[in-house]
Structure 1
Amino acid sequence: MTVDTAPPQWLTALELTLLGAIWGGSFLFMRVAAPSFGALALVEVRIVLGALVLLPFLWRARARFGVERWGRLALIAALNSAIPFTLFAWGAERAPAGVGAIANSLAALWTVLVAFVLYRERIGWLRGLAMGIGFVGVVVLMSDRTRGADVAPAAVAGALASLCYGLSSNFTRHWLADLPPVAAVAATMLCAALMLAPLAWTHWPAAVPPRAAWLSAIALGVLCTGVAYAVFFRLIARIGPTRATTSTYLVPLFGVLWGWLVLGERPSMLMLLAGGLILGGVIVSQREGRRAEVPSRAATSETHLGGET
Structure 2
Amino acid sequence: MTALFRSSVLQLLLLAAIWGASFLFLRIGVPVFGPAKLIFLRVALAAVFLSGVALWLKQGLALRGNVQHYFVIGVLSAGLPFLLYGYAAQSLNASMLAIVNAMTPIFGALVAAIWLRIPLRPLAMLGLALGFGGVLLIVGADLGTRGAQDWLAYLAALGAPFCYAIATSYTRKYAAAIPPFAQAHGSCWTAAIATLPLALWLPARAEPVAGDWLAVLALAVLCTGWAYLIFFRLLASIGPARTMTVTFLIPVFGVLWGHLFLGESITLIMLAGGVIVLLGTALANGLIGRRGD
Q: Is the TM value for this pair above 0.5?
A: yes
User: Which residue number corresponds to residue 185 of structure 2?
Assistant: 186
Aligned position for 2:100: 103
In structure 2, what is the equivalent of residue 295 of structure 1? none
Q: Using a 3 Å threshold, how does the CA distance of structure 1 residues 289 and 120 change in structure 2: closer, same or farther?
A: farther
Superposition map of 1:82-161 within 5 A: 82-145=79-142, 148-150=145-147, 152-161=151-160
Structure 1: distance between partners of 2:123 and 2:61: 44
Higher relative contact order, structure no. (Cα contacts within 8 Å, ≥ 6 residues apart): 2
* Cα separation, 1, equivalents of 2:240 and 2:122: 24
Is 2:50 the counterpart of 1:54? Answer: yes
**Cα offset, 1:139, TM superposition:** 1.4
Corresponding residue number in structure 1 for 2:244 = 245
CA 1:147–1:53 in 2, change beyond 3 Å: closer, same or farther?
A: farther
> 2:3 is paired with a residue of what secondary structure?
coil
Farther-moved stretch of structure 1 (134-143 vs 21-30): 134-143
Which AA in structure 2 matches 1:115? A
**Structure 1 residue aligned with 2:274:** 275
For 1:228 and 1:52, the matched residues in 2 are separated by 14
> 231-240 vs 219-228, which deviates more?
231-240
Retained in 2: the 8 A contact 1:99–1:155?
no
Q: Distance in 2 between matches of 1:290 and 1:166?
A: 22
1:1-309 aligned within 5 A:
7-56=3-52, 60-62=58-60, 64-66=62-64, 68-145=65-142, 148-150=145-147, 152-205=151-204, 207-287=206-286, 291=290
Q: Kindly indicate whether the alpha-carbon contact (under 8 Å) linking 1:130 and 1:284 is maintained by their aligned counterparts in 2.
A: yes
**Pairwise CA distance, 1:79:** 0.8
Verify the 8 A CA contact 2:61 2:182 in the aligned structure 1. no
Q: Which one has a bigger Cα radius of gyration?
A: 1
Does structure 2 retain, via aligned residues, the 8 Å contact 1:259–1:265?
yes
CA contact (8 A) 1:105 1:249 kept: yes
CA distance in 1, matches of 2:256, 2:283: 23
How far off its partner does 1:104 sit?
Answer: 0.8
Query: What's the TM-score, normalizing by structure 1?
Result: 0.86
Cα deviation, residue 144, structure 1: 2.5
Tell me the amino acid that sits aligned with residue 146 of structure 2. Answer: A
After TM superposition, give the deviation of residue 92 of structure 1 in Å: 1.0
Q: What TM-score, normalized to structure 2?
A: 0.91
C-alpha spacing 1:159/1:8, structure 2 compared with 1 (3 Å): same
* Shift in CA distance, 174/290, structure 1 to aligned 2, threshold 3 Å: farther
Whichever residue aligns with residue 123 of structure 1, its letter is: L
CA distance in 1, matches of 2:177, 2:289: 22
CA contact (8 A) 2:102 2:277 kept: yes
Superposed CA RMSD: 2.1
Q: CA deviation at 1:9?
A: 2.9
Q: How many residues align?
A: 287
Q: Aligned with 1:122: secondary structure?
A: coil
- For 1:221-268, what per-residue CA distance to the aligned partner results, in whole angstroms no more than 9, with x for missing partners? 100000000011112222222222212210011111100011110122
Residue identity matched to 2:49: V
Structure 2 unaligned regions, length at least 5: none
CA distance in 2, matches of 1:263, 1:217: 17
Which secondary structure does the structure 2 equivalent of 1:240 belong to?
Answer: helix
CA shift in 2, pair 1:84/1:290, >3 Å: farther
Structure 1: gaps (5+ residues): 293-309
Contact 2:42 2:219 in 1 (8 A): yes
